[in-house]
């Protein structure tokens, strides 16, 4: 089997797995939202995110290979291509959701109520505007 074909064949199976995986990750992410902002959960979610990004790379490589085959006149690639594109679209949505959830669970640095600049830990006054920031 040629190089392009191998990528395309790989993409076909990646496409179907990616869709299942996306749904699982989405369910997981929704479960996690209900929990408190636990650093361990954020770490797990980041791990999921990296796996999904890898899937995304594979999908995009596969789409490229399938598209190339289609242009070469392989008629049986059209359906696979559409399926993979749809699957990748869903994966992209799941990825964005997960990114947003991770972002919302990250501890935010304290900011000055006056000028909104980030505060160093354990300071009594804002280093930018001098406002007192301890209670
Ligand atoms: Zn300030």
Distance 93 CA to ligand 1 centre (A): 37
Residue 73: inside a domain: yes
Distance 100 CA to ligand 1 centre (A): 27
Residue 119: inside a domain: no
Tally of domains in the chain: 1
* Whole-model pTM over 0.75: no
Look at residue 104 and tell me whether its pLDDT is greater than 80.
yes
Q: What is residue 28's predicted lDDT score, i.e. its pLDDT? A: 56
Distance 112 CA to ligand 1 centre (A): 5
Residues contacting 97, CB < 8 A, separation 6+: 26, 29
Q: Are 116 and 133 in contact (CB under 8 A)?
A: no
- Domain range enclosing 55: 3-105
Residue 108 vs residues 37, 83, 102, 133: alpha-carbon distances, Å: 11, 39, 12, 16
Q: What is residue 31's predicted lDDT score, i.e. its pLDDT? A: 56
Residue 110: inside a domain: no
Residue 124: inside a domain: no
Distance 123 CA to ligand 1 centre (A): 11
Q: What is residue 77's predicted lDDT score, i.e. its pLDDT? A: 83
Residue 117: inside a domain: no
Condensed to tens digits (0 to 9), the pLDDT of residues 1-58 reads: 688 777 777 766 655 555 555 555 555 555 555 555 567 888 899 999 999 999 999 9
Q: What is residue 37's predicted lDDT score, i.e. its pLDDT? A: 52
Residue 101: inside a domain: yes
Q: What is residue 125's predicted lDDT score, i.e. its pLDDT? A: 93
Q: What is residue 120's predicted lDDT score, i.e. its pLDDT? A: 87
Q: What is residue 6's predicted lDDT score, i.e. its pLDDT? A: 78
Condensed to tens digits (0 to 9), the pLDDT of residues 61-93 reads: 999 999 998 898 877 788 889 999 999 999 999
Residue 47: inside a domain: yes
Q: What is residue 109's predicted lDDT score, i.e. its pLDDT? A: 80
């Amino acid at each position: 089997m040629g190089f392009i074909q191998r990528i395309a064949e790989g993409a076909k199976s990646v496409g179907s797995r990616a869709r299942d995986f996306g749904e699982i990750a989405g369910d997981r992410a929704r479960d996690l939202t209900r929990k408190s902002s636990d650093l361990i959960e954020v770490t797990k979610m980041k791990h999921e995110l990296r796996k999904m990004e890898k899937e995304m790379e594979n999908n995009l490589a596969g789409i490229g290979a399938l598209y190339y085959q289609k242009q070469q006149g392989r008629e049986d690639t059209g359906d696979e291509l559409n399926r993979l594109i749809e699957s990748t679209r869903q994966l992209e949505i799941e990825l964005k959701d997960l990114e947003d959830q991770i972002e919302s669970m990250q501890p935010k640095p304290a900011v000055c109520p006056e000028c909104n600049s980030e505060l160093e830990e354990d300071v009594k006054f804002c280093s930018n505007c001098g406002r007192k920031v301890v209670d």
